[in-house]
Structure 1
Amino acid sequence: MSEGLPVVAVVGAPNVGKSSLVNRILGRRRAVVAEEPGTTRDRGYARAEWAGREFLLVDTGGMEPAARMGLEALVTLQARVAVEEADVIVHLTDARTGPTEADAAIARELLRSGAEVVLAVNKLDDPSDDTERYRFYALGEGEPHPVSALHGIGVGDLLDEVVSRLPETTPPVEEDLLPGIAIIGRPNVGKSTLLNRLLGQERAVVSEAAGTTTDVVESEVEVELDGGLRERFALLDTAGVGRRAHRARGVPYYSALRTGGAIRRAAVSLLVVDAVEGLVAGDLQLARQVEEAGRSLGVLLNKRDLVPASRLRELEEQAAVRLPDLKPPVLAISALTGSGVEKVLPFAAGLHRAFTAKIPTHELAEYVNRLTADNTPPRGVKIRYATQTGTAPPRFTLFATRPGDLPENYLRYLENALRERYELYGVTLKLKLKSSR
């Protein structure tokens, strides 16, 4: 995400306050925080700065070194990958529980790695009494730094120690924010499996349990376009959003908020639909979020290996009928086997081209003239001129006599013709009428 920046990973046992510390350092709610352990599962990356030094801050799930199977083992694997990437590791512990066996196992693992480790003891909320931190010398990681992520106590001193250990790096060149591709869908439809396929690595935790991803996971990808050109995108994996997410509490509620933010941030959203279950109300709700955000949408029919071709054709027709204002293109894939996955990024790049399309004025005006000549507007209305007045999504203005008399079905005819001629599928076309006077 930020080439050239040193990496600082925050690791520790479950529920010691890692995400709270990350939010405190960033000065905003970047990570989902809740009372129950296991809220963070994937690695979350964000740029941070302290004392003039920029670095990439990595939030991780709770490490459980003894776990050998199941979700705990997968989350621990994600944390271990973060440890391998990091230049400095903040090992966060909990003063209220004291040094636990899990803390000791993590400390042994970190010391064996040879990495730069800074030990922090969280939940010391009284700045006049930090005696509980002395028990953590037993972990063998050096000075235990007292902090309160909740109140911000000691965080500045901790960051002073962290940046003092960062390697010298060349400051990265500032770049424009990459256009985003958000992978969205209901819980357990295969979003994280698809992400890992696209990246060729275990970037996101994948489990049979629904709702494994609770935050937005961001990675950078490069797509080869026609003519050998290449374009970079930010790929966003999101939490599964259930039909009643707006009524949910705690983690599901905040995860739904994060997903909504990813939809607004991304130029393209790829809606992953379970081909076995079909297009259901939860899918349509997510599609409406994309439409209301004014972004572009493509539909990925996952698990195509489990249904006949006739079922895929039926779902493609359903998407066109039930999402008429977007008319999203549809691609059938199997994230599990990898079938069709090689087409996903070019598919998304095509949606981005439609979203940012710019049509020369003379070409557009001539085409609309041909359309009106082939199918004359009713009630004596004459469309004299057409021009594109915006992109992302494409917006057009038609100058006509008596624009208020132009019926909705004629506007739909023009919209469909423009969509087909310029391949503007998956975007909401905005046609505005003005008086030619």
Structure 2
Amino acid sequence: MTDRRRLPVVAVVGAPNVGKSSLVNRILGRRRAVVAEEPGTTRDRGYARAEWAGREFLLVDTGGMEPSARMGLEALVTLQARIAVEEADVIVHLTDARTGPTEADAAIARELLRSRAEVVLAVNKLDDPADESERYRFYSLGEGEPHPVSALHGLGVGDLLDEVVARLPEAAPPEAAELPGIAIIGRPNVGKSTLLNRLLGEQRAVVSEAAGTTTDVVESEVEVQLDGGRERFALLDTAGVGKRTHRAQGVPYYSALRTAEAIRRSSVALLVVDAAEGLVAGDLQLARQVEEAGRSLGVLLNKRDLVPPERLREVQEQAAARLPDLKPPVLGVSALTGAGVGEVLPFAARINRAFNLRVRPHELAEYVNHLAARSAPPRGVKLRYATQTGTAPPRFTLFATRPGDLPESYLRYIENALRERYGLQGVSLRLKVKSSR
């Protein structure tokens, strides 16, 4: 497939415990990454949409790079970070002012300077704005000007982002837009490749009774008829992802990486679940991955021909109970017999429409006012206005007096009501609150 690219990618990389996750949290304005004093808390790459000065980009948090590591967990974490470097347009190399330039920093700098991406050097933990002298030592890394920041206090982060945004590539023209993707994901041997072959009407993927036959992303272009119109999608089949992927090596490890990449490239992920087994830990882990990537989710209960209707209803209720944030729609199918398979692509296309929902400003403001009248916010808080601030996934912003006094339960009330009214089941809806002042 040609690279008809998505949002530009900004990767935050560096040695262990230099404050990468703290910086990511500061940029996103919320506690998304786990932050701890112990080195190596972040192991996998974490992706989130970010915005600065009107430019949107994917922000990637990575684990600590240890270029000398050859085996074990450190080597796997470093590999994850290197993959982030390969796909990044701009790399923020974060260092620690308290330790000064280390041999690890120098080794990382040499790697980054060989990459195709723009590199911005940042020196963290400069908490005294009057004294930036420590940053000058980092000129020795050869990455240009060291930008002083304090992720803990937010100092210098805006200036750093100005530099990052200035180096982002120009946005792709509309005609170069990538087809929306539908990723078929699931644990090994739940019938994903058999389903793909049914959908395409041909032997496009290798099907085997042995678990783990597919190790790469298989992509095909499909056309879906919906409400009298036709829509085109890239259909992505993936390898099965088993448990403990963060400890996996070889084929299972790379299968997990490629599945994660397919999720990020898709608008809709279809989670194939064995109807007889129901939702298990591996399914929930994949669903969380979809939500964290800001994508939408539908659940396909495969092998429906092998279970009674009561079991299908039971698993459907289980999905609603165990995935309360996304509340994904559920469809029963049999990839083996073809039952229900004709509904799969229209099912995904409807989820995609919800993912790209745009609500008229006046309508949204009126509806949120209605919700506030029906169930008033806490005393002293008034909802002044509501607007949609983005799509794919839908993002909404509430403007309120004393926004810090709005409890999580009230925001969940607004979110659930929006999800119900606009058919956003399975969509990673985003809701923000700002001061009306």
Same fold (TM over 0.5): yes
CA distance in 2, matches of 1:286, 1:409: 26
2:207 corresponds in structure 1 to: 206
Paired letter, 2:210: A
Paired letter, 2:183: A
Q: What is the deviation of 1:232?
A: 0.3
2:298 corresponds in structure 1 to: 298
Kept in 2, the 8 Å contact 1:397–1:433? The answer is yes
CA distance in 2, matches of 1:188, 1:246: 20
Q: Secondary structure at the match of 1:288?
A: helix
CA distance in 1, matches of 2:365, 2:391: 17
CA distance in 2, matches of 1:292, 1:416: 18
2:360 corresponds in structure 1 to: 360
Paired letter, 2:219: E
CA distance in 1, matches of 2:259, 2:380: 48
1:326 corresponds in structure 2 to: 326
1:179 corresponds in structure 2 to: 180
2:74 corresponds in structure 1 to: none
1:136 corresponds in structure 2 to: none
**Is 1:401 the counterpart of 2:401 in the alignment?**
yes
Taking only the aligned residue pairs, the percentage that are identical comes to: 82
Larger Rg: 1
Q: What is the deviation of 1:411?
A: 0.8
Unaligned runs of at least 5 residues, structure 2:
3-174
Q: Secondary structure at the match of 2:367?
A: helix
Paired letter, 2:276: V
How big is each residue's C-alpha offset from its partner over 1:355-389, in whole Å with a ceiling of 9 and x where there is no partner?
A: 11111100100111111111111223110100000
CA distance in 2, matches of 1:308, 1:355: 32
RMSD: 1.4
CA distance in 1, matches of 2:358, 2:399: 19
Paired letter, 1:196: N
Q: Secondary structure at the match of 1:388?
A: strand
CA distance in 2, matches of 1:407, 1:211: 45
**Is 1:278 the counterpart of 2:278 in the alignment?**
yes
Q: Secondary structure at the match of 1:387?
A: strand
Paired letter, 2:397: T
**Would you say how many aligned residue pairs link Structure 1 and Structure 2?**
266
Paired letter, 2:423: E
Q: Secondary structure at the match of 2:294?
A: coil
Q: What is the deviation of 1:297?
A: 0.6
Q: Secondary structure at the match of 2:413?
A: helix
Q: What is the deviation of 1:231?
A: 0.5
Kept in 2, the 8 Å contact 1:197–1:341? The answer is yes
How big is each residue's C-alpha offset from its partner over 1:135-167, in whole Å with a ceiling of 9 and x where there is no partner?
A: xxxxxxxxxxxxxxxxxxxxxxxxxxxxxxxxx
CA distance in 2, matches of 1:255, 1:433: 38
Paired letter, 1:207: S
Paired letter, 2:190: V
Kept in 2, the 8 Å contact 1:180–1:234? The answer is yes
CA distance in 2, matches of 1:308, 1:327: 23
2:381 corresponds in structure 1 to: 381
Q: What is the deviation of 1:236?
A: 0.3
How big is each residue's C-alpha offset from its partner over 1:259-317, in whole Å with a ceiling of 9 and x where there is no partner?
A: 11001111110000000111000001111111111111100000111111111111111
2:309 corresponds in structure 1 to: 309
CA distance in 1, matches of 2:246, 2:307: 32
2:243 corresponds in structure 1 to: 243
Q: Secondary structure at the match of 2:331?
A: strand
Unaligned runs of at least 5 residues, structure 1:
3-173
Q: Secondary structure at the match of 1:223?
A: strand
CA distance in 1, matches of 2:420, 2:380: 26
1:435 corresponds in structure 2 to: 435
1:218 corresponds in structure 2 to: 219
Paired letter, 2:304: R
Q: Secondary structure at the match of 1:270?
A: strand
How big is each residue's C-alpha offset from its partner over 1:335-364, in whole Å with a ceiling of 9 and x where there is no partner?
A: 101100111001100111111111110010
CA distance in 2, matches of 1:246, 1:436: 43
Kept in 2, the 8 Å contact 1:379–1:405? The answer is no
1:392 corresponds in structure 2 to: 392
Q: What is the deviation of 1:225?
A: 1.2
CA distance in 1, matches of 2:433, 2:176: 38
Q: What is the deviation of 1:406?
A: 1.1
Q: What is the deviation of 1:393?
A: 0.8
Q: What is the deviation of 1:175?
A: 4.8
Q: Secondary structure at the match of 1:241?
A: coil
CA distance in 2, matches of 1:383, 1:435: 10
Q: What is the deviation of 1:176?
A: 2.8
Q: What is the deviation of 1:416?
A: 0.6
Paired letter, 2:216: D
CA distance in 2, matches of 1:263, 1:433: 28
Paired letter, 2:193: S
1:267 corresponds in structure 2 to: 267
TM-score by length of 2: 0.60
1:196 corresponds in structure 2 to: 197
CA distance in 2, matches of 1:236, 1:428: 20
Kept in 2, the 8 Å contact 1:268–1:352? The answer is yes
CA distance in 1, matches of 2:201, 2:186: 21
1:420 corresponds in structure 2 to: 420
Q: Secondary structure at the match of 1:417?
A: helix
2:335 corresponds in structure 1 to: 335
